Structure 1
Amino acid sequence: MMSVTPQQSVEHYENFPVASILLPRRFRKPVAAVYHFARHADDLADEGDATPAERLAALGECSAELARIEAGEDAETARYRALATVVRDYGVPVSLCEDLLSAFRQDVTQSRYADFGELVQYCRRSANPVGRILLHIFGAVNPRHLAMSDGICTALQLVNFWQDVAIDWAKDRVYLPQDELARFGVTEAQIAEGRVDVAWQRLMRFQVDRTRRMLKAGAPLANALPGRVGFELRLTVLGAATVLDKLDACGYDVFRRRPVLGKGDWPRILWRAWRKK
């Protein structure tokens, strides 16, 4: 259950609510603690010039901090002491945090996905835990909410993948499922060339349409959550849907210009989110 804001960077949890001013004040500090944990771990997996072995070792140190928290011991760093407070005060399962770390480790070791099922399993650990953690913080955990949150979070992760095909290619990562590349007659050589043809457009239209259906299926969660929390989630869903519309509008040419939300998009998104309250 992440949120799209116009200020956030491409690389770091673009769809994560960074203690937004829209959130009630009491939630901003715990949400920020979760964000800083996730962003730091994501950076360890992605940023700088560390070797894969060094990245995995650093993520192992993060897992050791989580193990201390779960054992009721003091964490060694301020970042994890803040996270421990969130775990304690809101009953957040440490396993959700470890799921995120496992996804970051997977980014170090795996760069291709055989099929959509394998990709969804990755999203289950790279995105869905964020929404589940937030539901714990908001005191809104129940099976229906968790299921809708998972749908939204997976869809948001997929939106990022479809925006970032060129960026991920530069990192030697391809999140488009390999079997679907083959089905639509698109090769990795074509991605390297940045060539947009009918086959590419059909492939990407298929991805966008499926992602839009997932996003729509989870959208009722925004009206199930009260006040500003629900309003922020409506912004999240509408913002992601707008990015999908931009992908359609540019003919899925993500190589020459990455489809993103601009300042001009926000008045309409805010109005639509307000009308749906």
Structure 2
Amino acid sequence: MRISFVAFMAYLTIISSSVVDAFVAPNINGVQTSTRYSNSNLNRIQILRSTATDSEGNKIDSSTSGKVLEGGKVIDFESMRGPSQAEHALKLAKEEIMKQSDGNNKIEQTSILGINDDVIKEVGHALCEFANSDEIQKCAAYLRSQTAENFFEKRAGSVTDTYDEVHSSTSISQVQKDTAQTILRKALVESGEVTSAFAKTFFMGTMMLPEVSREATWAIYVWCRRTDEIVDAPRDNDDEMLSDLGMWEMRLENLWKYGEVEDVFDLCLLDVLVKYPTLPITPFVDMIRGMLMDVPEIGIDRYESFDDLHLYCYRVAGTVGLMCLPVFGCAPGYDEIISKEPALSLGVAFQLTNVLRDVGEDAKDRGRVYLPREDMDRFGVTDEQLFEQRVDENYINMMKFQIARAKMYYERARRGVFMLAEESRLPVQSSLDAYGKILDKIEENGYDTLTTRAYVGKMEKMSIIPFSWYRTQDISRTIPLPGDKTIPTLEEPSL
């Protein structure tokens, strides 16, 4: 049931791939690519990165986490760690890895995590074979040299100690630069190939983005793809999956903290962090937790309250908004902190829409119920009714309530469109309008999501674009389209 990265990101770009340039030309120079920062900027970077969790999964910054209050401001769940069986199992797996590595948080790997035979078959050729370990580490050292001083921490015995002599050089030779850039270029090409193989529509959409942000979205996509492959790969038991996932999370922590990499695709993600230094680690860590919530036996079988479901929505979908926010960029006068709430709201809106659309499929095909038990009890709807696919007045009333809640999150998300850089607004607004249209389809289908799947066709999506474009223009804030509400500011109540 979790929304895939493809599903989320495809709606951010799919509709723009053929007609976006008819309405707005991408501002390639509008993307922040500078890699040197003043002390004041570095301080802000450190604040934004400080929400990272440690290897034990402990909460670091409680000021950015909490519960959502209906009708109030959206508070995300980042840094929250529940006492779930899955998270405890992951913690134990990481502790075992630490024992095997003598406590240095690093062990040797003989395979490329998340790049299995199925991935290679889908791409059509072997991956990651154009650079050896030494070349990969030299390229990583070059990338680290492009950051502000002390951006990455140092630790004794780290691989960075061996290769970061390039960082302290007064001048890096052109040969060093050319070699590193060649390796990185090949890595980015392969990340694009993986993206294209698994998400053709999304890949086409990314081609309309400026080169820097396009390659960054490929790198983020490949990381999410690999995470999904680690969790879903067929295995005899969950122990191997948890061990791989524990190693994967520790690698992520080492990349953010020390700038360490293991393979060429790690280089791509390191390149994203270098180019977008405000990118936080927390959404990546939390996405791992979200995927664990869907693992049978150790995950979450049933959501008792909406707060519980909201945590799931944040982890599997809201996190993607946070990953992409630095890449999409902010408009003058806004920053990632104030733009964060609308980005989270959009992810929650998307995932709630998925939940409502797929009630019947989840119950019949997967034996899963994602609707909060407290909401079902409130309207007199039972699990048995969902499994038997019986639509009655109670079910219809519950769906009306759930749709109203989802639309509230879409309204909250609308506030964030004008906070984005100009070249990112139309893809995001189009995604909001197109995915929100699924709720309209549910209503047109008599609120039956047990036997009928709400679907928005490609031509209908295309027809939405002129209206989406208008909604990205300043005039729409004073003269909204018929039926549209005036967009409130973040300081105003959303409803």
In the other structure, the counterpart of 2:342 is 148
- The alpha-carbon distance between structure 1 residues 28 and 254, as it changes in their structure 2 partners (threshold 3 A), is same
Determine helix, strand or coil for the equivalent of 1:142. coil
Equivalence map 1:95-244=2 (5 Å)? 95-108=282-295, 109-140=299-330, 141-169=335-363, 170-244=365-439
1:203-244: per-residue Cα shift (whole Å, max 9, x none)? 111111110111012202112323330011110110122111
C-alpha distance in 2, partners of 1:220/1:53?
43
Deviating more after overlay: 67-76 vs 31-40 = 67-76
C-alpha distance in 1, partners of 2:232/2:446?
29
- The alpha-carbon distance between structure 1 residues 251 and 22, as it changes in their structure 2 partners (threshold 3 A), is farther
Alignment partner for residue 36 of structure 1, among 215, 219, 222? Answer: 222
What's the CA shift for 1:73?
4.7
C-alpha distance in 1, partners of 2:320/2:204?
12
- The alpha-carbon distance between structure 1 residues 102 and 261, as it changes in their structure 2 partners (threshold 3 A), is same
C-alpha distance in 2, partners of 1:252/1:228?
36
Deviating more after overlay: 31-40 vs 147-156 = 31-40
Q: Which has the higher helix share?
A: 1
The answer to whether the 8 A contact 1:165-1:174 is kept is yes
Determine helix, strand or coil for the equivalent of 1:71. helix
In the other structure, the counterpart of 2:64 is none
- The alpha-carbon distance between structure 1 residues 172 and 271, as it changes in their structure 2 partners (threshold 3 A), is same
C-alpha distance in 2, partners of 1:163/1:219?
21
What's the CA shift for 1:46?
4.1
C-alpha distance in 1, partners of 2:386/2:237?
26
The answer to whether the 8 A contact 2:230-2:244 is kept is yes
What TM-score comes out, normalization by structure 1 length?
0.87
C-alpha distance in 1, partners of 2:395/2:388?
12
Deviating more after overlay: 141-150 vs 43-52 = 43-52
What's the CA shift for 1:145?
0.7
- For 1:220, the aligned partner's letter is R
Structure 2 gaps of 5+ residues are 1-7, 18-197, 473-495
What's the CA shift for 1:49?
6.1
What's the CA shift for 1:157?
1.2
The answer to whether the 8 A contact 1:59-1:105 is kept is no
The answer to whether the 8 A contact 2:304-2:374 is kept is yes
- The alpha-carbon distance between structure 1 residues 22 and 208, as it changes in their structure 2 partners (threshold 3 A), is farther
- The alpha-carbon distance between structure 1 residues 126 and 32, as it changes in their structure 2 partners (threshold 3 A), is same
- For 1:45, the aligned partner's letter is V
The answer to whether the 8 A contact 1:3-1:235 is kept is no
- For 1:96, the aligned partner's letter is P
> Are positions 1:94 and 2:281 aligned together?
yes
1:55-90: per-residue Cα shift (whole Å, max 9, x none)? 333322321220221232532233333222212321
What's the CA shift for 1:191?
1.3
What TM-score comes out, normalization by structure 2 length?
0.51
Determine helix, strand or coil for the equivalent of 1:107. coil
- For 1:203, the aligned partner's letter is M
C-alpha distance in 2, partners of 1:60/1:19?
33
- The alpha-carbon distance between structure 1 residues 70 and 135, as it changes in their structure 2 partners (threshold 3 A), is same
Structure 1 gaps of 5+ residues are none
The answer to whether the 8 A contact 1:20-1:28 is kept is yes
In the other structure, the counterpart of 2:148 is none
C-alpha distance in 1, partners of 2:230/2:361?
18
The answer to whether the 8 A contact 2:230-2:241 is kept is yes
